[in-house]
Amino acid sequence: MQCAGRGCRVTAPVKFPAQEEGQADPEAHDSPPAASEMAEWKEEVEVLVQRVVKDITGAFRRNPNIDEIGLIPCPEAKFNRSPIVLVENKLGVESWCIKFLLPYVHNKLLLYRQKKLWLNRDELIDVTCTLLLLNPDFTTAWNVRKELIQSGAINPERDLQLGKLALTKFPKSPETWIHRRWVLQHLLQVHIPGSVVNKDASCQTLTEQLQGIVREEMSVCCEAAGRYPSNYNSWSHRTWVLQHMGKLNVK
């Protein structure tokens, strides 16, 4: 895979059965496609979506400062290139791949939760990240991320960034706001093992960190409210942050 132009081009093309040279569209047949054709088609779709998931992961590795996601209207794949487009700090997903990508990551995670499929740590991180960027109200995915945070596999700040990014496309997403509060509570419990009473240098540093968290949360709330003015979830989160951080004397 190599980056060129507006996105990453896939050097080895993935063709669907209907795209093979000299083969007619399966939908034009009077009889349904043979089982072997369907199996081949499913295999090619799986190869495709696996590459797309890797492209999304690769985009974040190349640019950890991605600050917005969006769909690029594109009813079908016209060129041999990745549907993931990274321009500066903006990540775009061509719409044609969603109907293949979303069911794939959704089913894969459900099979994992049902213990019918094994996924290693990196696969879980990649699958849940892709799924939540496309459907941030899928509670199971956030629950898996919680487990990854508790096990130390994911830095909590990384999930705050993922949620912030999801909110640029889905500013009302209730599950994203709920998970965000859980992450903040986790940060407070882990980094504040007791009441903040000692007036030493470390306490001052901790207070500055908490103030930074509050400022960031206010910014996230304002941005989400700007994208959807009647955003009850955003304003409720803002109130929650002020109330809980206020207990720690963070102003």
pLDDT, tens digit (0-9, with 9 covering 90-100), for 67-84? 999 999 998 887 778 999
Q: Are strands 90-94 and 68-72 parallel, antiparallel or unpaired?
A: parallel
Q: Which residue has the higher pLDDT, 245 or 153?
A: 153
pLDDT, tens digit (0-9, with 9 covering 90-100), for 94-121? 999 999 999 999 999 999 999 999 999 9
Q: How many CB atoms are closer than 10 A to CB 249?
A: 9
Given a cut of 80, whether residue 32 has pLDDT beyond it is no
Q: What is the pLDDT of residue 223?
A: 96
User: What is the rounded distance in angstroms from the CA atom of residue 111 to the CA atom of residue 107?
Assistant: 6
Mean pLDDT (the chain, rounded):
83
Token digits of residue 168: 């640029």
pLDDT, tens digit (0-9, with 9 covering 90-100), for 111-149? 999 999 999 999 999 999 999 999 999 999 999 999 999
* Residue ranges per structural domain of the chain: 1-14+39-135, 151-251
Categorize the per-residue pLDDT at 246 as very low, low, confident or very high, splitting at 50, 70 and 90.
low
User: Percent of the chain having pLDDT more than 70?
Assistant: 78
Given a cut of 50, whether residue 13 has pLDDT beyond it is no
The DSSP annotation for 175-232 comes to HHHHHHHHHHHHHHHHH-SS-S---SHHHHHHHHHHHHHHHHHHHHHHHHHHHSSS-H
Q: How many CB atoms are closer than 10 A to CB 60?
A: 18
pLDDT, tens digit (0-9, with 9 covering 90-100), for 194-225? 444 444 555 667 778 888 899 999 999 999 99
- pTM beyond 0.95: the answer is no
User: What is the rounded distance in angstroms from the CA atom of residue 81 to the CA atom of residue 69?
Assistant: 19
Q: 179, 153, 151: which is closest to 167 by C-alpha?
A: 179
Residue 194, SS3?
coil
Q: 149, 139, 136, 140: which is closest to 110 by C-alpha?
A: 140
Q: What is the CA 176 to chain-centroid distance, rounded? A: 11
Q: Are 76 and 96 in contact (CB under 8 A)?
A: yes
